[in-house]
Homo-oligomer: A and B are copies of this chain.
Amino acid sequence: MTITPPALSVFETLESEVRSYCRGWPAVFDRAQGARLTDEDGHSYLDFFAGAGSLNYGHNNPVLKRALIDYIERDGITHGLDMATTAKRTFLESFQNNVLRPRDLPYKVMFPGPTGTNAVEAALKLARKVKGRESIVSFTNAFHGMSLGSLAVTGNAFKRAGAGIPLVHGTPMPFDNYLDGRVPDFLWFERLLEDQGSGLNKPAAVIVETVQGEGGINVARPEWLRALADLCHRRDMLLIVDDIQMGCGRTGSFFSFEEAGIVPDIVTLSKSISGYGLPMSLCLFNPELDIWGPGEHNGTFRGNNPAFVTAAAALDAYWADGQMEKQTLARGEQVEQALLSICDEHTALGARYRGRGLVWGVEFTDEARAAAICARAFELGLLVETSGPRSEVVKLLPPLIATPDELDEGLRTLARAVRDTV
Contact = CB atoms under 8 A, between A and B. Distances in A.
Given A14-B92, A18-B82, A159-B297, 11 more contacts: A14-B109, A25-B83, A29-B86, A30-B77, A51-B79, A65-B72, A128-B164, A159-B295, A161-B296, A165-B166, A179-B187
A165 B157 contact: no
Interface stretch (A191-199, A249-257, A315-323): A191-199
Interface in A100-122: 108-111, 113-118, 121
Interface in A55-72: 55, 59-60, 65, 68-69, 72
A160 B15 contact: no
B29 A84 contact: yes
A-B pairs, top 8 by smallest CB distance, nearest first, are A128-B164, A79-B277, A197-B389, A168-B168, A147-B147, A20-B295, A172-B199, A18-B292
Chain B CB within 10 Å — which of A33, A197, A389 has the most? A197
A191 B179 contact: yes
Contact of A78 (B216, B276, B299): B276
Contact of A117 (B80, B118, B271, B290): B118
A8 interface: no
Report the contact-size class of chain A (Cβ under 8 Å from the partner).
35 or more
A169 interface: yes
A156 interface: yes
B270 A14 contact: no
